[in-house]
Structure 1
Amino acid sequence: MSCAGQFTLYGSNASPYSCKMRALMRYRRLPFNWVILNPMEIPSHPNPNIRSLKARVIPILEWPDGRVLNDSTVIIEALDADFPRSRDVLPRDASQRFMVKLLEDFFDEWFMKAMFNRRWSSEADRDWSSRWIITDQLLTSPTLRILPSASDMANLTAVFRERQVSRVKLVGCEDDELWQRVMYEVMEAMDEQLRFGDAVRFLFSYRPTSADFSLYGILKQFSLDSTGGHVLREQFPSVYCWIQAMDDLSGLVVEGEFQYATVDTPAVRKILNLVDTMYLPYLAANAVRNRGEEVEVKLTLKDGVTFVHKEAFGPYQKRCFEDLKAQYKRLAPSQRAAVAQLVGPGMDHLLADEHSKL
């Protein structure tokens, strides 16, 4: 399909998934307008196709023909189907595609919790994050003409701050020690890859995948926040610069179809340890729970450190688990064996149904 016309991408600078999609659209050279949208405005949006969306989440992408989708993962797959050979971000090879989707999922659903924890845990972070996000929403509003008074601004910020802090438990990121460990592990993994020679600058190849854009979306939020931004600038400056570079890769020279350089890069190797010991056990524990129930899972890292993670059942994460299981089971046995060797024993969670039948 050729791209005739302009897309419209609705989102927010404070949304990791919106930043993920904006950078991906720039890289793919798909023309679009960037329009700020608060998710709470979706039910009253003038576009009936947007009002009818079941999930009130951003980003939302409107195609030139009027079709709309939200959920960054769904949007990326739809764009891949429409423009399969134009600076694509999903490999054609099934096992490579699975690895990319696995890491994209990890960043979207697990690394995001580390960002949310850092953004809303300390008083300093709460104060700064609430102020910058509310100010940004006002200054980027497509319709606002007059800025609120200082007192109104203070009230808006206080209400938003309280609402976001109250969601820390709901999101499942109350344990500061756990999420600080995740934050540092991922940042250190990317830093190691970027600071040494003979390594590609993206996770898997000389060109980015959807997993790179997912990682970028979360790291972008860290860079905008108080503590996260300080940590990146002072301890991981290479990663901070990578974030700036990822923002607009429209000028990156790309030739031919996507090809893996290697799956054994320093960053991928370390991040897969977290997928193996944290994310897959969590997904499996969440999958056997239902609405209103609590998920509790013991996580044992490679160095023997353990965490007991608790959070409310996540229906979306259950769907993620089922999608990963389906993708993994579609691989040939030899491909599954190769993936399991890379990731670790945590991959057995994706074959639990098959093992139970033996």
Structure 2
Amino acid sequence: MYTLYGAIASPYSIKMRAILRYRRLPFVWKDGEETLAALANVRTPVIPVLQTPAGKFANDSTPLLYMLEDTHKDRSIVPPDPAMAFVAHLIEDFADEWLTKAMFGYRWLEQIDQNVMSNWLAFDRMKSGGAEAIQAEASKFRDRQVGRMPLVGCTHANFALIEASTKAVLAALEEQVTKRFFLFGNRPSLAEFGILGQFSQLAVDPTPLAMIREEFPYTARWLAHAEDWSGVEGKDWDETPSDAALAILGVAEEVYAPFLAANAAAIKEGADTLSFSALGHSFSQPVFKYQAKCLADLRTRYAALTETNRARVECWIGTGWNKLLG
């Protein structure tokens, strides 16, 4: 049996919990102080942490999901078609590395969300000690998180682009989910789980919750279903991405590709900040080395495709990506 150490306010924890549920892999969920203790077993102290039945600890949701792919063959979340697998991975990466800015921004930019969520997150961890102690811890946590906002690009100046790209993805899902639940077949892929992780938090925090329920009501309900797809019996993968997947890839081309390109260029030049414009909005933040690793990984996966599959992918992802990955 696996043990997943996470938190319900962590998008990547929700992502991994949903993957384990869909794949019907026996696991125990741990949170609070037990999760903090588990961080001592991994090199980089980020959640979720997955402990395998053999007792090994590992974290970082994308490597974790591929580790499960290597270990368990049934109910895979990676399409067997290499071209489809690449674009599903691209959407998952876009969700993990760009849409997370929406989660962070909605949670910590406005006071109403800061107050509610800092108290809830402190309660999630402590679970006892009395309301005063929980609120004192919440105040410290809120100050720490709000202070980190510029480091991850979640500022009021940048949020117009973050919100515009997020709503574009939500609009694509809203068009899709009343017709078909999934993006690449009649079963979920890693792309859906990446999106679920980030948007699961928007469906809880006060400001984005009101927005999603008013503007994207079916997607709001789809997110609730996505937390447990263990009962899904679909076995088929499509030969081409759905219209919604193509629309999301289009948003990624408009926003995430130039973000990765600007980050890589800034690092190469030895600059401290990156800047770019997309969807009529400007964006600037400090460079981030982890995103450079994400770009390198995408390039490696792209280069590994056969010429035929690369040509198929090029038709789906657009020229912005082709130039960056090629």
What is the TM-score of this pair, normalised by structure 2? 0.93
Residue 241 of structure 2 is aligned to residue 263 of structure 1: yes
- 1:290 match: secondary structure: helix
- Which one of the candidate residues 219, 224, 235 is aligned to 1:239? 219
**Mind listing any 5+ residue stretches in structure 2 that lack a counterpart?**
none
Q: Distance in 1 between matches of 2:277 and 2:172?
A: 20
The within-5 A match list for 1:1-358 is: 6-37=1-32, 41-42=36-37, 45=38, 51-84=40-73, 86-139=74-127, 147-174=128-155, 175-195=158-178, 199-255=179-235, 258-260=236-238, 262-265=240-243, 267-290=244-267, 293-301=271-279, 305=280, 307-351=281-325
Shift of 1:135: 1.8
Matching residue's letter, 1:19: I
| C-alpha distance after superposition, 1:134-180 (max 9, x if no partner) | 222233xxxxxxx2233322211111111111111111121121111
More helix as a share of residues: 2
Contact 1:170/1:312 (CA < 8 Å) preserved in 2?
Answer: yes
Q: CA deviation at 1:192?
A: 1.1
Runs (4+) of structure 1 exceeding 6 A deviation are none
Q: Aligned in 2, Cα 1:104/1:8: closer, same or farther, shift over 3 Å?
A: same
- For residues 183 and 248 of structure 1, the distance between their equivalents in structure 2, rounded to whole angstroms, comes to 23
- Structure-2 separation of matches of 1:241 and 1:308: 32
How far apart, in 2, do the equivalents of 1:151 and 1:293 lie? Answer: 44
CA positional deviation for 1:52: 4.2
User: What percent of counterpart residues are identical?
Assistant: 36
Q: Is the 8 A contact 1:23 1:247 kept in 2?
A: yes
Partner secondary structure for residue 224 of structure 1: coil
Conserved? CA contact 2:4–2:28, under 8 Å: yes
**Offset, 1:40:** 8.6
Structure with higher Rg: it is 1
Shift of 1:247: 1.0
Cα distance in 1 between the residues matched to 2:186 and 2:306: 26
C-alpha change, 1:95 and 1:115, in structure 2 (3 Å) is: same
What is the rounded CA distance, in whole Å, between the counterparts of 2:316 and 2:295 in structure 1? 19
The 2-side partners of 1:78 and 1:40 are apart by: 20
User: Which residue is equivalent to 1:144?
Assistant: none
Instruction: Between 214-223 and 127-136, report the one with greater CA deviation.
Output: 127-136
Q: Is the 8 A contact 1:223 1:240 kept in 2?
A: yes
Asked if the contact 1:107/1:214 (under 8 Å) is kept, the reply is yes
- Encode CA deviations 1:99-122: one digit per residue, 9 max, x unaligned: 111000000000010111111111
Quickly say closer, same or farther: Cα 1:17–1:38, change in 2 above 3 A.
farther
Instruction: Tell me, in whole angstroms, the C-alpha distance in 2 between the residues paired with 1:41 and 1:166.
Output: 21
Q: CA contact under 8 A between 1:11 and 1:36: conserved in structure 2?
A: yes
Q: For the Cα contact (< 8 Å) 1:277–1:299, is it kept in 2?
A: no
Please tell me whether the aligned partners of residues 324 and 350 of structure 1 are also in contact (alpha carbons under 8 angstroms). Answer: no
Letter in 2 for 1:149: G
CA separation in 1, counterparts of 2:325 and 2:15? 30
Gaps of 5+ in 1: 1-5, 140-146, 353-358
Q: Deviations over 1:43-80 (max 9, x none)?
A: xx5xxxx5342111111111111122100100100100
Higher relative contact order (CA 8 A, sep 6+): 2
